[in-house]
Structure 1
Amino acid sequence: MDIMTETLPIAIQVSDALVAEIENIASVSNKLEAQLNFHTMTANWYSDEANILMINFYLISISELKNVTTHVGSVDLESLADDVLLHSKNSLLDCHVAITPAESVLIEQQPKLLSGYLAKKLTKVLNLIADRQKFVHI
C-alpha cells in the first residue's frame, strides 16, 4: 500500500526552546495545524490550485525573534506586530511568531489556556495575511 504524504499549505514548527519551556506545545501545535488548514480550506483560500499560498509558522521565544532579523536580514522582513515577523518569497510565507514573556507566564500559570490562546494568536496573523492576499477571513 502506497501512502501519499502531501504537504499541507500551513505548517507549524515549534522551537526547541519553547518545547522545553511549555508543556504540550508540540501536540497542541499539531492539532492547531490541522484546524487552521481546514479553516483556510473551507474559506476557499486554495481555489487557485496553480497558485497556493504556503505558510510556515515558526513558534519561537521573544529572544529567538530578535535573532530572526540577523539570520534572514531585516530588509526582507516585515513586522506585523511586536511579536510577529513575516518573510515572503513568492507564494511562500515564513511567519515567525513569538511567545512573549507575559504570555509564557500566563500559560505557565494556566496551562489549559495554551490551545485556545495559540489558536487565537495564529488566526489573527492568518487574517492579517488574508487582508493582504484578498482572502476571506477565517
Structure 2
Amino acid sequence: MIDLRLVTPHADGFEKKVDKVIVRGILGDLMLMENTAPIVTPLAYNTMKVYMDGGVKVGVVHGGYVSMKDNVATVATTAFEWTYDIDATRAQKAKDRAEAWLQEAESKGEDTSRQSYKEAKLSLLRAINRLNNAEI
C-alpha cells in the first residue's frame, strides 16, 4: 500500500491508503506502487486511476505534478474531479466558448502572449480533458 495525497488549490483533495496509482506524466504513463523509486515529474491533462478496496476509481487531472518518495505519492494539480462527477453538457459549452474566443482572437491578430489568451487555451484543454473522460 502507498499513501496517496491529492492537493489542489480548491480544497477538493484527499489523502488515502491505496494499492497503486496510474497517472500520465508529460512523457507517458506512470504506475506508482509500493517501493517505487523516488520521482518528480509534470503531469499531462489526463486521467488518474486509483486502485483501492479491490476496485478502481478514475479521476481527471488538469496538469500539475506528481512526486513519489518513501511510499507517499503526492499529486499536486490545479483541478481534479472524478469522472462520474463530470457534467459533459457543461464541458461542451466551455469548450465551445473557449474555441470561439480563441478563433476571434486569432482572426483579430491578437497578441498570443496575453494572459487572457493563455487562460482561454487552458480552459480549452480542461474542457477537452473532461469530455474525453466523462462517464456518459
Q: Which is richer in helix?
A: 1
Scaled by the length of structure 2, the TM-score of the pair is 0.26
Task: Name which one, 1 or 2, has greater alpha-carbon Rg.
Answer: 2
